Chain A
Amino acid sequence: MPIKLNELTIKQAQDKLDKNEITSVELTKACLTRIKEADKKIKACLTVCEKEAIDEAKQADEKRNKGKKGGLLGIPYLAKDNILTKGVKTTVASKILENYIAPFDATIIKKLKKAGAVLLGKTNLDEFAHGASTENSAFGSTHNPWDLERVPGGSSGGSGAAVIADMCLFALGTDTGGSIRCPASFCGVVGLKPTYGRSSRFGLVSMTSSTDVPGPLTKTVEDASLVLKTIEGVDEQDSTTVDNKSGDYENFLFKNLKGLKIGLPEEYFVEGTGVGVKKTIQVAVEKLKELGAEFIEVNLPHTKYGVPAYYIITPSEISSNLARFDGIRYGYSETNNGRNSENDLMSIYKKSRGHGFGPEVKRRIMLGTYALSAGYYDAYYLRAQKVRTIIKKEFDEVLEKVDLLLTPTAPHTAFKIGEQVDNPVKMYLEDIFVTGASLSGLPAMSINCGFVDGLPVGLQLIGKRFDEAILFRVGHNYEKATNWNEKKPNI
């Protein structure tokens, strides 16, 4: 049965482009048509740049006609709206940057441009990437394509929903404490958080500089490896990128799993994890055993302190990083607000920030300011950083004994929109299984491993620093032996 062009994986599209069976313009138009038809219900995109996309696709086709091949040339994608794109609005789903146009591209966008990938538009997120549901977007929640009454996860929820609904061939997200993996899990796509320092943060709207990392959301594991290959690498403009040689991803994909040791951390399978999720993960474990992997029970006793440590470190870095939004240089400002024409500098700061930021952003800035303020620094921030040391050490020690870890990505499937929006602690606990890899800077990937009541379940693989290759190897073998990644919502 012929499938629509927008439904292709990157790998399939590359093949057809290389054989001159299709053009990038056709591929791009198919995605734009799909966005028009499906996004009324899903609301994954904040900006669609139709004209620019067609232009870029034409250029890609010309290059291909001149003999250039492979890579991401002519492949259409969407980028999360906290990644700067020159000339195309970057709103961070916030009123404070509602009309902001970046004067330059983020490094990863620059790399994709150079490779000839086609930017279709920008996707919805929780305001400033603060959240696990996209409900904190100033422009309204994205709807999960599997059930429109449910959240797509967050904060890269628009990217997750767009990929499963075939609006693009892949999407970019950012992951600070699960923001790529959570929507990948809730939407049933592949979501890779690379090792911290693998891909440049230059040109991301900073949230938590010590854990932020951009990565891909894709339809297959192999596609994730292709995108990583393009966006990774040391960047002079991000001093935290590490000059680590790229993994030999292609060869790794096709190695079998014989002799591989996978750790199952006991703390990820106890209280709070849904029965359906547990069962689905267990079935996946059995499948991987059949494929030759060996499983070993391991312990990460400080797992439960991950979320509380994260919710001190993150708001602290946020309160500092978001100080730049002052109503003076860019973004929402009360400077020229008629009734405020007599405003002094201080009241411009306070009014612009007070009126420009949404509730969760203000909550986090307040929490971070509190944790860093005189008298509380030692009790909160310093202590959280010490707990971070313990969590990181625990992961490193366990990863000496096994090649990688396997856990559920989230304790349950996608929840209903509005269900827990007024309960910040409950919302923060969404991150229970994803903060550990973030605080430790480890690569982690979520892949779909089945369904509970029609909603996808995410399986998380966590590897050693800079060993994304092993995640791809396990993920790819699993994907070939099952076909969960081929299931699509009816929308």
Chain B
Amino acid sequence: MKISKEEIKHIAELARLELSNEEFEKYGNQLEQILGYIDQLQEVDVSQIEPTAQVTGLVNVVREDKAVDWDKKEVKVALNQAPETEANQVKVKRVLK
């Protein structure tokens, strides 16, 4: 399994990771090695098999959709974790150009 440098860069872009050149090199090689190992899954006949995403057997667990007040002190602790806040809200960089 060969992964090109462009492909690795594309994946890092999708994953929102800034990587150094050494990291591109290292992760590229290691991903090839890991995927080479994982490729044995191709041996298994899965033609008649449904995928499993979860094992509980539960279906559509719902609860009432109502807003619950959050303790003011907890809100403060939560907001204090953000690097920038304004008027009791998390401040974000411009999204639209």
A interface residue numbers (CB < 8 A to B): 87, 100-104, 196-197, 210, 236, 239-240, 242, 302, 304-305, 308-309, 311-312, 319, 323, 326-331, 333, 335-336, 343-351, 353-355, 357, 359, 362-363, 365-367, 369-370, 373, 380, 382-390, 392, 424-425, 428, 439-441, 465
A424 touches B33 (CB 8 A): yes
Q: Is B67 an interface residue when CB atoms closer than 8 A count as contact? A: no
Q: Are the C-beta atoms of B14 and A369 separated by less than 8 Å?
A: yes
| Interchain Cβ contacts under 8 Å between A and B, 23 examples | A196-B56, A210-B53, A236-B63, A239-B61, A308-B38, A328-B92, A329-B90, A350-B16, A350-B17, A353-B15, A354-B19, A363-B27, A369-B14, A383-B41, A383-B42, A384-B41, A386-B51, A390-B44, A390-B46, A424-B33, A425-B33, A428-B34, A440-B55
Whether A330 pairs with B15 at a CB distance below 8 angstroms is no
Main secondary structure on A side of the interface with B: helix
Separation in Å of the A421 CB from the closest CB of chain B?
12
Whether A305 and B41, one on each chain, are in contact in the complex, defined by CB atoms closer than 8 angstroms, is: yes
Q: Which of A327, A347, A362 contacts B27 (CB 8 A)?
A: A362
Task: Please tell me if the beta carbons of A242 and B58 are within 8 angstroms of each other in the complex.
Answer: yes
- Nearest residue (CB) in B for A333 is B83
Closest to A383 in B: B41
**Binary per-residue interface labels of chain B (46-77) against chain A in the complex, 1 for a CB within 8 Å, 0 otherwise:** 10011111111010010100000000001101
Q: Are A343 and B93 in contact (CB under 8 A)?
A: yes
Q: Are B46 and A387 in contact (CB under 8 A)?
A: yes
User: Known contacts A345-B95, A362-B17: does B34 contact A311 (CB below 8 Å)?
Assistant: yes
Q: Complex Cα distance A344/B16, Å?
A: 13
Partner of B55, one of A345, A359, A387, A392: A392
Q: A362-B23, A366-B17 are in contact. Are A345 and B92 (CB under 8 A)?
A: yes
List of A residues within 8 angstroms of B21 by Cβ: none
Do B52 and A366 touch across chains, with their CB atoms under 8 A apart? no
Whether B77 contacts A311 by the Cβ 8 Å rule is: no
B18 within 8 A of A: yes
Q: Which of B41, B52, B61, B95 contacts A312 (CB 8 A)?
A: B41
B87 within 8 A of A: no
B61 shortest CB reach to chain A, Å = 4
Minimal beta-carbon separation of A352 from chain B (angstroms): 9
Specify the chain A residue showing the minimal Cβ separation from B50.
Answer: A389
Shortest C-beta distance, A326 to chain B (Å), equals: 7
Indicate if the CB atoms of A373 and B17 lie closer than 8 Å.
no
Give the contacting residue for A380; candidates B38, B49, B74, B95; CB below 8 A: B38
B55/A441 in contact, CB under 8 A: yes
A386 to B38, CA, bound (A): 14
Q: Which residues of A contact B53 (CB under 8 A)?
A: 210, 385
- A392 to B53 alpha-carbon distance, docked (Å): 11
Flag if B15 contacts A365 (CB, 8 Å): yes
Are the CB atoms of B52 and A330 closer together than 8 Å? no
Interface string of B7-18 (1 = CB under 8 A from A): 010011011111
* B-side contacts of A425, CB under 8 Å: 33-34, 37
The residues of B that contact A345 with a CB separation of less than 8 Å are 92-95
Q: Assess whether A100 is in contact with B81, with CB atoms less than 8 Å apart.
A: yes
Report the nearest B residue to A325, measured CB to CB.
B16
A336 and B83 contact, CB distance less than 8 A? yes
Q: Which of B11, B15, B31 has the most CB of A within 10 A?
A: B15
A residues near B84, Cβ cutoff 8 Å: 335-336
Given contacts A328-B82, A351-B18, A380-B41, 6 further A-B contacts (CB under 8 A): A236-B63, A344-B94, A362-B23, A386-B52, A389-B52, A390-B44
Q: Is there a chain A Cβ closer than 8 Å to B4's Cβ?
A: no
* Alpha-carbon separation in the docked complex, A384 to B38 (Å): 9
Contact of A240 among B19, B49, B56 (CB under 8 A): B56
Q: A392 touching B18 by the CB < 8 A rule?
A: no
Instruction: Please report the C-alpha to C-alpha distance between residue A97 and residue B72 in the assembled complex, in whole angstroms.
Output: 23
Shortest Cβ distance from residue A384 to the other chain B in the assembled complex, whole angstroms = 6
**A101 touching B46, Cβ below 8 Å:** no
Q: In this assembly, does B88 line the interface, its C-beta being within 8 Å of a C-beta of chain A?
A: no
A-B interface, 7 closest residue pairs, ranked by CB to CB distance from nearest? A354-B18, A441-B55, A385-B51, A330-B81, A386-B46, A239-B61, A350-B18
Determine the distance from Cα of A408 to Cα of B17 in the docked complex, in whole angstroms. 38
| Chain A residues whose C-beta falls within 8 Å of the C-beta of B31 in the assembled complex | 363, 366-367, 370
Which A residues touch B33, using CB under 8 A? 424-425
| Contacting pair B41 A382 (CB below 8 A) | no
Q: Within the complex, what minimum Cβ distance (angstroms) separates B22 from chain A?
A: 11
Task: Determine how close the nearest CB of chain A comes to the CB of B82; give it in whole angstroms.
Answer: 5
Contact A389 B40 (CB under 8 A): no
